[in-house]
Amino acid sequence: MNYIQLEKLGEGTYATVYKGRSRATNEIVALKEIHLDPEEGTPSTAIREISLMKELNHPNILHLHDVIHTENKLVLVFEYCEQDLKRYMDTHGVRGALDPATVRSFMYQLLRGTAYCHDNRVLHRDLKPQNLLINRKGELKIGDFGLARAYGVPVNTYSNEVVTLWYRAPDVLMGSRNYDAAIDIWSCGCIMAEMITGMPLFRGRDNPDQLLAIMKIIGTPEDRVIKKMAQETPDIQFKTYPRFPKVPWPNILPGASAQACDLIDRLLQFDPTSRPNALDALFHPYFTDPTAHHPNSTNVPQPVPVGVMPAPVFHMLPNGQSVYMPQPSNAPGTRAAAPQPYQYAAMNDPNMARHPAYSEQGHPPPFAGQPIHPPQYAQVPAYAYGQHVHPQAHMPAQAAPQQQQQQQQPQQPAVYPVPGYPQYPGR
């Protein structure tokens, strides 16, 4: 084999994961060894994971480098990430809770990766902190596509034994087999709340108990909502549930900003057709408003001084540049306003209706938050605000004539094609 095993990272029912090194490039990788049963052959989860991940290429999707098939085992070679989100929360959070800027950065990356999957007609169906990996740059990668599957024509009926219980959407808990991308959106909302509080939001023992746990927080939906869901999905039967009032999100998420509570409320809608798709969620003011992660405050965070600081995370702007340090709205050279209004697209649209900016630009909106700073990593030189940023991205409302002239002829970065996007910029 062209890879050297270094140490065991974890072990599951069907596979063992090792840290490894490529003999050819000396690159550190993760080796997922799946032991094959001579009678049963290759597990269906492995076949599904390989077939889907070979087609996905995105900065927030764990990259599958290679597949090695021998007589008694199957080895999947992935890019290496230091830890999963659950371990990151336990290590760097306060009783598991992460700071607001880190939550916002991770949610932005999670929704970017999820939007890319859905745009390529892939449902992950098992989004949870243990399946989200964090590398030393602070980049989040969606991994473990063992339960994922392509959706749409010709099959639109699926198993309802998907998604780890605490992150399972209510429509799936009620028996729906005609779900769509909305089940991943629900999981994203659960993950966001868990990053804020340090604890899983809904902790049921089984399907009925999980459904009650959900209703005790977001409230019991009106009968008309359940009837509507039953009419749209034959597997859901109308029944009367105990009446629980909705608990205000500030009571559940103390210290969270109003924008954070609003985004979670939209992601965790009982009716799947009321949830935004992942791309629309990226246009929520929680991401586009620089003040959104400061609870009860209109003050804009001050720029971080140039100096030495931990490695920041990359964020991609619509114009194609990777930005190290997004600017606050009162900093010199900042953009004047959010790039596009926030709106929803129909979740059940077979053509996956897109936000107008996505059709024109091919990218989510710029991220207006501060980068995360993993505390355990080596320190590297920081970049000043605006450095390595395309002029169009942060141009003030009334620029000087010289700036306007420069804006008209920006230098375009190199690009390389990625499935699902017109062009994706190189970094």
For the stretch 6-38, pLDDT in tens is 999 988 777 899 999 999 999 999 999 998 887
The rounded distance, in Å, linking the Cα atoms of 152 and 173 is 21
CA-based R_g, the chain, Å? 22
DSSP H/E element including 74:
strand 73-79
Q: Identify which has the larger pLDDT, 331 or 176.
A: 176
Q: Identify which has the larger pLDDT, 311 or 221.
A: 221
Name the CATH code of domain 81-288 (choices 1.10.1740.10, 1.10.510.10, 1.20.1250.20, 1.10.540.10).
Answer: 1.10.510.10
Q: Is 386 left (phi over 0), alpha (psi -120 to 50) or beta?
A: left
pLDDT of res. 15: 87
pLDDT of res. 12: 78
Nearest CA to 129 out of 82, 179, 190 is that of 190
Residue 275 pLDDT grade (very low, low, confident, very high; cuts 50, 70, 90): very high
When pLDDT is averaged across residues 131-142 and rounded to a whole number, the result is 95
pLDDT of res. 262: 97
DSSP H/E element including 163:
none
Residue intervals of the chain classified under CATH 3.30.200.20 are 1-79
Q: pLDDT tens digits for 361-406?
A: 345 555 555 444 433 322 222 322 222 222 222 223 333 344 444 4
Average pLDDT of the chain, as a whole number: 72
Alpha helices in 233-305 (DSSP H): 249-252, 258-267, 278-281, 285-288
The rounded distance, in Å, linking the Cα atoms of 120 and 61 is 12
Q: Answer yes or no: is 141 a known binding residue.
A: no
The rounded distance, in Å, linking the Cα atoms of 89 and 254 is 18
* pLDDT of 279 strictly over 50: yes
Q: Identify which has the larger pLDDT, 115 or 381.
A: 115
pLDDT of res. 401: 42
Of 42-56, 90-104, 403-417, which one has max mean pLDDT?
90-104
Return the ∠ at Cα 317 (arms to 272 and 79), rounded to 5°: 75
Residue intervals of the chain classified under CATH 1.10.510.10 are 81-288
The rounded distance, in Å, linking the Cα atoms of 266 and 263 is 5
**One-letter amino acid for residue 367 of the chain:** F
Please list, in sequence order, all residues whose beta carbon lies within 8 angstroms of the beta carbon of residue 208, skipping any fewer than 6 positions away. Answer: none
Name the CATH code of domain 1-79 (choices 3.30.200.20, 3.90.1150.10, 3.40.50.720, 3.40.50.1100).
Answer: 3.30.200.20
The rounded distance, in Å, linking the Cα atoms of 60 and 46 is 20
- Cβ distance 416 to 352 under 8 Å? no
What pTM, to 2 d.p., does this model score?
Answer: 0.70
Nearest CA to 162 out of 123, 191, 115 is that of 123
- Cβ distance 415 to 356 under 8 Å? no
Q: pLDDT tens digits for 161-184?
A: 556 899 999 988 887 777 789 999
* 3-class SS letters over 316-364: ECCCCCEECCCCCCCCCCCCCCCCCCCCCCCCCCCCCCCCHHHHHHCCC
Of 84, 90, 99, 126, the catalytic one is 126
Annotated catalytic, 84?
no
Of 42-46, 79-83, 153-157, 290-294, the poorest mean pLDDT is in 153-157
Please list, in sequence order, all residues whose beta carbon lies within 8 angstroms of the beta carbon of residue 142, skipping any fewer than 6 positions away. Answer: 60, 61, 62, 110, 113, 114, 117, 124, 127, 131, 132, 133
Query: Distance from CA of residue 377 to its chain's centroid?
Result: 22
CA max distance for the chain: 74
pLDDT of res. 205: 92
- Cβ distance 106 to 315 under 8 Å? no
